[in-house]
Structure 1
Amino acid sequence: MKLVFFRGKVPNFGDELNLHVWPVLLPPGFLDEDESELFVGIGSIIGDHLDPQARKFVMGSGYAGYMGLPDIHDGTWDIRFVRGPHTAEKIGVSPDLSICDSAVLLRAMELPAPAQNVGVAFMPHYESLERGMWAEACRLAGMTLIDATQPVETVLAQIQGAELLITEAMHGAIVADALRTPWIGAKPIYSGHHMKWLDWSGALDIELRMHQLRPTSLLELYIAMTGRGGGQGKAGRLNEMPLARAPNWVLTHSAARHLQKMATLEPQMSSDSRIAQVTERAQNAVEAFVRSRVSVG
């Protein structure tokens, strides 16, 4: 059974969690390279891009509309649980299966020690690191930048050590909430990433408050205004030209001041009882799946 998850040009914390979580929680040798059976794990990975002939086992994944909607009733899908109620509704399964994003299972694992002297931190979406000037904005704001492209252990230690996490990356909020670090949700500059936040937060009964970010570059400003997140063409080329330095400087300083204001907002967190409940349900679902496979074997 092969583990499948999204992997782009650069590592991304939320997706790379798959390699951190599943080899620890599943029995040795449970995962292999047999593509006739797919283990569909952490991330917005449910879609019609997966092999239609393969047997697909879904363990806390989400549907975000990045790919086409699959027919999960075609006999090749085994849905053990999904990220949240939006996913359950879109793919047509019982809302009882909307337990939580399976990154919550970090709570059942041994974790790296919290990083020291993190203070208030900001975690951009990994795409924003390339499109914007967030390292400089964090420096100006006096905050720690948490880079979603860094090793999972590094990011986990920083999230655990943060006094407060402001995050544009959804898995920044998911992990912060699981590990009980107060967090403030920042609405992704690219609007295509908005809906999945509501999916996850709905599973935890969180009345989600998302706060607007200010762009740090002309390219981010263009994306925010147009809702286009793919190839930016002329806007992307303009962002790298000497002509863009002055407006990017202004935008970055404005974004830094806005981050400082965001840090004064009231943070969010699911209740202790709710996070414990969904963690137990997710663990039970994984354990039941493993037992079913062992008995079949």
Structure 2
Amino acid sequence: MKLVFFRGKVPNFGDELNTYVWPEILPEGFLDEDESELFVGIGSIIGTHLPETSRKFVMGSGYAGYMGLPDVHDGTWDIRFVRGPKTAEKLKISPDLAICDSAILLRQMELAKPATGIDVAFMPHYESLERGPWDEACRLAGIKLIDATDPLEKVIAEIKGARVLITEAMHGAIVADALRTPWIGAKPIFAGHHMKWLDWSGALDIELRMHELKPSSVLEYYIGRTGRGGPAGKIGALSRSPLAAIPNAFLTHSAAKHLQKMATYEPQLSSDAKIGEVTEKAAAAVDGFVRSRLAVS
């Protein structure tokens, strides 16, 4: 059974969590490279891109509209649980299967000690790191940048050690909530990433408050205004050119001031009771799946 998850040209914290969580949670040797059976893990990985003939076992994954909507009732899908109620509704499966994103299983793992000396931190979506100078915006704001492309243990330790996390990256919020770090949701500049936040938060009964995030570059301004996501094209080239130096500097300073303002907002956390309940349900679903597989073998 092969683990499948999204992997782009740079590592992304939310997707790379698959390489950190599952080897720890699953028995040794449980996963292999046999593509006739797929272990569909953390992330918005449910879609028509997965091989039609493979048997697909879903463990807390989500559907976000990035790929085509599959028919999960065609006999090749075995859904143990999904990220949230929006995914369950899209897939037309029982709402009882909308447990949570399986990154919550970090709560059952022994993690590195929290990083020290962090007050407010900001975690941009990994794509935003390519589109705008968020390192400079955070420096100007006096806020710690958490880089979603950094090594997993470093990112987890920084999230765990922050007093409060402002995050445009959904898995920043998921992990912060799981580890009980208060978080402030920043609405992704690219609108295509919005729905999945409602999916995850719905599973935890969170009354989600998403706050506008100011663009830090000409390219991000364009993406926010048009809804088109991507660094290529004339606007991307313009944003990187000397002609954009003055507007980029203005936007970066504006983004920094807005981050300072966001740091004063009231952060969120799911209730201790709900996070405990959901963790137990996710762990039980994975354990039940493993037991069923071992019994067959």
> Please, what TM-score do these two structures have when normalized by structure 1?
0.99
| TM-fit CA distance, 1:230 | 3.0
For residues 252 and 213 of structure 2, the distance between their equivalents in structure 1, rounded to whole angstroms, comes to 11
Structure-to-structure mapping, 1:87-98, within 5 angstroms: 87-98=87-98
Q: Which residue of 1 aligns with 2:192?
A: 192
For residues 234 and 170 of structure 1, the distance between their equivalents in structure 2, rounded to whole angstroms, comes to 29
For residues 251 and 64 of structure 1, the distance between their equivalents in structure 2, rounded to whole angstroms, comes to 29
Describe the superposition over 1:106-164 as per-residue Cα deviations: whole angstroms up to 9, x where unpaired: 00000011001111000000000000010000000001000000010000000000000
- Secondary structure in 1 matching 2:122: strand
Amino acid at match of 2:111: L
> Please, what TM-score do these two structures have when normalized by structure 2?
0.99
Structure-to-structure mapping, 1:169-248, within 5 angstroms: 169-230=169-230, 232-248=232-248
Q: Which residue of 2 aligns with 1:273?
A: 273
Aligned partners of 2:82 and 2:99 also within 8 Å: yes
Q: Which residue of 2 aligns with 1:41?
A: 41
Amino acid at match of 1:89: E
For residues 180 and 242 of structure 2, the distance between their equivalents in structure 1, rounded to whole angstroms, comes to 43
Amino acid at match of 2:77: W
For residues 282 and 202 of structure 1, the distance between their equivalents in structure 2, rounded to whole angstroms, comes to 15
Unpaired stretches in structure 1, ≥5 consecutive residues:
none
Q: Which residue of 2 aligns with 1:250?
A: 250
For residues 122 and 235 of structure 1, the distance between their equivalents in structure 2, rounded to whole angstroms, comes to 26
For residues 170 and 76 of structure 2, the distance between their equivalents in structure 1, rounded to whole angstroms, comes to 29
Q: Which residue of 2 aligns with 1:67?
A: 67
Structure-to-structure mapping, 1:83-122, within 5 angstroms: 83-122=83-122
For residues 216 and 6 of structure 1, the distance between their equivalents in structure 2, rounded to whole angstroms, comes to 26
- Secondary structure in 1 matching 2:207: coil
For residues 71 and 183 of structure 2, the distance between their equivalents in structure 1, rounded to whole angstroms, comes to 36
Aligned length: 297
For residues 191 and 232 of structure 2, the distance between their equivalents in structure 1, rounded to whole angstroms, comes to 15
Q: CA RMSD in A?
A: 0.5
| TM-fit CA distance, 1:231 | 5.2
For residues 117 and 138 of structure 2, the distance between their equivalents in structure 1, rounded to whole angstroms, comes to 15
- Secondary structure in 1 matching 2:163: strand
Unpaired stretches in structure 2, ≥5 consecutive residues:
none
| TM-fit CA distance, 1:232 | 3.9
Q: Write out the 4+ residue segments of structure 1 that deviate beyond 2 Å after TM superposition.
A: none
Amino acid at match of 1:136: E
For residues 179 and 211 of structure 2, the distance between their equivalents in structure 1, rounded to whole angstroms, comes to 22
What fraction of aligned residue pairs are identical, expressed as a percent? 76
For residues 255 and 231 of structure 1, the distance between their equivalents in structure 2, rounded to whole angstroms, comes to 19
